[in-house]
Structure 1
């Protein structure tokens, strides 16, 4: 016996129950048993994903030519077995824990399994996605599209749209102390896009901080450059060690060292530029979250002190969304032509329409309003994290300044891996500080957690903090 119902259409997850392809074969239990086996197989192989809403039993009975009671009894048995769930007003759905094994093949039951996706996420790196300013962004998009010249819909200029470069020059000069001429700004697809371009222009050895993102080092290495480790402490990069690296270029996060959280001390800022001048060198300034400082006004960019020795790199990944893939470089005059040469004659990555929208978003003041709002939002998040730890885990200290979208929690030596595993068992995704270490450092914790308090939605933040506290080691 074989029946199939409109196989060209797939099941609906949230509708009233869409068409469902099932093959009923002969076997024990008659038609009811055949239906149960077919539904189990559809779940087991992943054709029916967890949470998928099944058709009402009356509709499925009609489609398959079965009695209503036959389908109702099959649903009831699968609910009892845990394959399905049924709630008044929600219909019958595939149980959330009924996830298919890798490759779609059955597997034997093992020890208690954890969800593939954690219930809570405190991994650093992303802003609160729910806070994206959709209404204001849409208004800017409409204005930008209406005012866009016809040539904006042709091949893109590798420098970036002039409207955006002018708006960035005004904003960066006003808000970050950057000395930016629109002709020295090159728009790119985020910070990684900037590093890829610079990697084709620079030569020799680049000094990188002893804590940072591994994929940034990988981008430089892939470009044929050598990286040398620069130690850090609570005052940021130890720039007095630059001479020993033999490097002529240094990649730093001066406003807020990533991830340990210390700003570059003013004396070290001056020493950094003295080194660059004496060495004929270059500083790559990663200003990844420079707008978000909570205990005082944000510190201005190093680039403002010496525009000919510093490449200022920024993006909207933390302030708006990494989905936009928009960033920029403010370049010394001698690097502009070289960067444009390796970029090519046309813009390959950064959408001209998104550039025009961001230009309007900046010029209209919407970006300033959004940053101020998010600064308050993330400050409340950080304050809440501090308060919860003070109440429930006073022995755990937060290191670094009050800034950015993440904080580092110092842990007792030798406990980091244990705490990360404990967090996973609490359904919490969080990363250890060791994940970002690639050299020697002093004045920072040997073991720690990098807690991204900007990531969770508001409704999930309390639960994430509860799970975090449950995973932390006891005092002593």
Structure 2
């Protein structure tokens, strides 16, 4: 009787018969050269149609397990080793060792987001409210992109669609004061791919990379997985502390968030900007500027990008993840001209190009003015959310907390004077049991420090009206 593999497939199906025979061949029940039962006999034994058995045999023949000759029964192929174990769709580790890159990646803390799991109040940074997405405008733009007449559907340019790069060229000048050519812009799958390309194009392991401390964990992971030697540079209320930079020797890159340091929220002062560029020049290094939420300034005028004063040594990264949605995976790089061709070649190797219809839709939104109208609307709405959060924290926590990074972005850091850093994970677990998501800042530090407990609070994913309720419940939940 033909048995199905590990009982997962019914023997009465073609799939089950195929798997059962394949396992018996691989484990030596049928040796090379042995004749198999006829399709008619096997169909009668199993109580199935002959067509079902023939389908199973056809699959075995196509995979080289079975040979057939005119007028003779099917036999097991002679090149099948009897000791070969049948492959299982559900079990088995790779027989070869992982690459050094994969080993390093596997050793890192997991940053794969999980579903909220019923959290009524989730202050996770990076999420945006689903109702904020401009559904009608995006649907109209996508429909136009899909139905636009094309001579053919083929691979696009690795740098991205010319229409989007030209639209971004104008947008960057209007919104961030950046003057560049469209050819200097490369469209990527979010800022994460931008960072990955910077690592692959510009760093030879174990090259040195300067990173902020604390910093965006996925940025650190990009360079650590590559095998770079990372040097954490302490940050304070004014961003990266350029007075504590290491000697400028052997560095390939410095990766910074000067307009709104992640996560502490500091803005890099003019003096520190000059000092950082001078350090990069002395090191013959490049500076990667991640302007992840530059559109959101509330109490002050927009901060000019470091790119403007970078003497051609700054790579600028922008994204629509915070203005539209992280689900779109659309971002862009602005590169010094000498780096354009290497980045284009490596982008093509990585994934050929980013999704074309989405690029065309975004280009349409920018060209029509709809994107900038949406950004202004989101700035107003998130300012309301920020105010609701800060007012509620003042009411329910008062002097127990210190809040930093409030002038920009979609998150703040809250320091709790009642608790120590080692309490963060316990407090987060307690809050989660009550239906509240709060996220320890310790996960963003690479070095252990003695400090108060701190949490990164994102406020862009919830309606402003329910934020005070979440803060009130948190105050009741956390022990005094």
TM norm structure 2: 0.70
On the 8 A contact 2:389/2:468 being kept in 1, the answer is no
Q: How far apart, in 1, do the equivalents of 2:449 and 2:331 lie? A: 30
Residue 337 of structure 1 deviates from its aligned partner by: 1.1
Residue 126 of structure 1 deviates from its aligned partner by: 1.5
Q: Which shows bigger deviation, 163-172 or 423-432?
A: 423-432
The aligned counterpart of 1:470 is: 476
Give ranges in structure 1 of 5+ residues lacking alignment: 1-114
On the 8 A contact 1:179/1:303 being kept in 2, the answer is no
Q: How far apart, in 1, do the equivalents of 2:447 and 2:232 lie? A: 6
Q: Could you say what secondary structure the match of 1:220 adopts?
A: helix
Q: How far apart, in 2, do the equivalents of 1:168 and 1:440 lie? A: 41
- Please identify the structure whose Cα radius of gyration is greater: 2
Question: Residues 339 and 118 (structure 1 numbering): CA distance in 2 closer, same or farther, change over 3 Å?
Answer: same
The aligned counterpart of 2:402 is: 397
The aligned counterpart of 2:171 is: 171
Q: Could you say what secondary structure the match of 1:228 adopts?
A: strand
Q: How far apart, in 2, do the equivalents of 1:378 and 1:319 lie? A: 11
The aligned counterpart of 2:372 is: 368
Tell me which of 409, 420, 432 is aligned to 2:428.
420
**Deviations for 1:332-386, whole angstroms, at most 9, x for unmatched residues?**
1111111112122795352111000000111111111111111111111110111
On the 8 A contact 1:208/1:228 being kept in 2, the answer is yes
Residue 239 of structure 1 deviates from its aligned partner by: 2.1
Residue 440 of structure 1 deviates from its aligned partner by: 7.2
Tell me which of 214, 217, 230 is aligned to 1:214.
217
Residue 125 of structure 1 deviates from its aligned partner by: 1.2
Q: How far apart, in 2, do the equivalents of 1:192 and 1:400 lie? A: 23
Q: Could you say what secondary structure the match of 1:344 adopts?
A: helix
Give ranges in structure 2 of 5+ residues lacking alignment: 1-115
> What RMSD over aligned residues (CA atoms) do the two structures have, in Å?
2.2
Tell me which of 373, 384, 390 is aligned to 2:388.
384
The aligned counterpart of 1:160 is: 160
Q: Which shows bigger deviation, 273-282 or 343-352?
A: 343-352
Question: Residues 239 and 372 (structure 1 numbering): CA distance in 2 closer, same or farther, change over 3 Å?
Answer: same
Q: How far apart, in 2, do the equivalents of 1:307 and 1:150 lie? A: 42
Does 1:357 pair with 2:361?
A: yes
The aligned counterpart of 1:431 is: 439
Tell me which of 293, 308, 315 is aligned to 1:289.
293
Residue 197 of structure 1 deviates from its aligned partner by: 1.5
Q: How far apart, in 2, do the equivalents of 1:456 and 1:423 lie? A: 17
The aligned counterpart of 1:137 is: 138
The aligned counterpart of 2:88 is: none
The aligned counterpart of 1:11 is: none
TM norm structure 1: 0.71
On the 8 A contact 2:215/2:263 being kept in 1, the answer is yes
Residue 441 of structure 1 deviates from its aligned partner by: 7.8
Q: Which shows bigger deviation, 355-364 or 391-400?
A: 391-400
Question: Residues 150 and 469 (structure 1 numbering): CA distance in 2 closer, same or farther, change over 3 Å?
Answer: farther
Q: How far apart, in 2, do the equivalents of 1:441 and 1:248 lie? A: 27
Tell me which of 302, 308, 314 is aligned to 2:312.
308
Q: How far apart, in 1, do the equivalents of 2:314 and 2:265 lie? A: 21
On the 8 A contact 1:191/1:313 being kept in 2, the answer is yes
Q: How far apart, in 1, do the equivalents of 2:172 and 2:446 lie? A: 32
Tell me which of 315, 326, 329 is aligned to 1:325.
329
Q: Which shows bigger deviation, 392-401 or 376-385?
A: 392-401
The aligned counterpart of 1:271 is: 275
Residue 473 of structure 1 deviates from its aligned partner by: 5.0
Does 1:122 pair with 2:123?
A: yes
The aligned counterpart of 1:190 is: 190
On the 8 A contact 2:128/2:460 being kept in 1, the answer is yes
The aligned counterpart of 1:451 is: 457
On the 8 A contact 2:177/2:304 being kept in 1, the answer is yes
Q: How far apart, in 2, do the equivalents of 1:435 and 1:346 lie? A: 29
Q: Could you say what secondary structure the match of 2:364 adopts?
A: helix
On the 8 A contact 1:158/1:346 being kept in 2, the answer is no
On the 8 A contact 1:148/1:356 being kept in 2, the answer is no
Question: Residues 297 and 255 (structure 1 numbering): CA distance in 2 closer, same or farther, change over 3 Å?
Answer: same
The aligned counterpart of 1:408 is: 413
On the 8 A contact 1:187/1:329 being kept in 2, the answer is yes
Q: How far apart, in 1, do the equivalents of 2:183 and 2:267 lie? A: 30
The aligned counterpart of 1:99 is: none
Residue 148 of structure 1 deviates from its aligned partner by: 5.6
The aligned counterpart of 2:56 is: none
Question: Residues 458 and 385 (structure 1 numbering): CA distance in 2 closer, same or farther, change over 3 Å?
Answer: closer
Q: Could you say what secondary structure the match of 1:269 adopts?
A: helix
Does 1:229 pair with 2:232?
A: yes
Question: Residues 374 and 116 (structure 1 numbering): CA distance in 2 closer, same or farther, change over 3 Å?
Answer: closer
Q: Could you say what secondary structure the match of 2:454 adopts?
A: strand
**Deviations for 1:127-158, whole angstroms, at most 9, x for unmatched residues?**
2222100111122223444556435x311210
Residue 401 of structure 1 deviates from its aligned partner by: 3.4
